[in-house]
Amino acid sequence: MYLISKIWLGYGLISVFFSAFLVFVIYTSPLSNQSFYRLIVIHLVIVILSWINSWPTRVVWTEDAPYFAKALYDHTPRLFSLFMFLGIAFCHIQSWSSIVICVNRLRTANPEKYEERNKWWNRWFILIYIIVIVLSLLAAHYLAITPTVRFYEETGKFGYVIWDLADGIMQIFFLVVFLGLYILISLIFGCIAVCKIKKHQDGEFHHSSLVTLVHIFLRVFCLTLLLCSFLLQVEDFTVEMMITIFDLMTFSMTYIILFYDESVREAIRSSCTSGTVDGR
């Protein structure tokens, strides 16, 4: 196993553990009554599933663990196309999920209207995510060209094939357009959120607001790096760089919450304290 793959795997497993732990803590605490944290829980579940789904694809890209990939390919060759399709869909879902969280925070920033708007989000957040998931699946199906995975017996290596030059051009076009679109939308809503939050919170950023803003602008930064690394096209370095940036972006919310959200840290302390008491 390559060193970079070991780093991805170690970082990912640790991040999945922390993400799952946060889901448990938030879901079993009074924080689950707040729409913001309900959205956070769904987002963390999405990033866990996204990271798990990415591994068969990255095994092919990096030519790592060839025996595992070959066995899986021989058993169900179309499965790789499914992983690729879901990977594209998860990229859309993660981007829209971050935007939804940002919109939620700017809409609930006004203390006078918080209760009313929090109830609205609690009532409709599941429907909102269903719409996001459906639209993301449609975008992955109709607005992306999924490459075909082939195994070349003469070289013993995998490769992705786009059979038509026009399809290859369209794939590049869709990738650049969607990355640019998500960068622009996230930047706009992030700036609006800054103005709204400063207006209604006396120029101070409470922990949930800080989490939202750090996450949305960090995501803008990572999407910009992804776009630049794709345009550089420096063979394997580009692939490894893009996957590394993707992993950092995927689990950014997990670590931002752990470092910046005092309410979650208090919930963790309460959960650990109650667990200790129950253990006695």
The SS3 of residue 152 is strand
Calculate the average pLDDT of the chain.
84
**pLDDT surpassing 80 at residue 157:** no
262-279 vs 3-27: helix axis angle to the nearest 10? 80
Q: How many CB atoms lie within 10 A of CB 176?
A: 13
Mean pLDDT of 7-27: 94
pLDDT value at residue 275:
54
pLDDT of residue 12: 94
Residue of 251, 194, 246, 216 whose CA lies nearest to 100: 216
Cα 88 to the center of its chain, rounded Å: 11
Nearest to 71 by CA among 56, 61, 52, 85: 56
Question: How many Å apart are CA 190 and CA 102, to the nearest integer?
Answer: 7
* Mean pLDDT, range 208-216, rounded to an integer: 89
**What would the pLDDT profile of 158-211 be if each residue is shown by its tens digit?**
666 666 667 777 878 888 899 999 999 999 999 998 888 888 766 556 778 889
Our CA angle for 67, 69, 73, nearest 5°, is 115
pLDDT of 226 higher than 90: no
- The answer, yes or no, to whether residue 278 has pLDDT greater than 60, is no
Q: Which residue has the tokens 């070289």?
A: 155
Q: Looking at residue 204, what is its pLDDT? A: 58
Q: Is the pTM of this model over 0.75?
A: yes
Q: Where are the domains of the chain?
A: 3-269
Percent with pLDDT over 70 in the chain: 81
CA atoms lying within 13 Å on the CB side of residue 257: 26
pLDDT at 147 over 90: no
What's the Rg (C-alpha) of the chain? Answer: 20
Quick one: fold of 3-269? Answer: Rhopdopsin 7-helix transmembrane proteins (1.20.1070)
Is the per-residue pLDDT at 2 higher than 70?
yes
**Are 136 and 89 contacting, i.e. CB atoms less than 8 angstroms apart?**
yes
Tell me, what's the pLDDT at 279? 45
Give the per-residue pLDDT at 229: 76
Q: Is 151 helix (H, G, I), strand (E, B) or coil?
A: strand
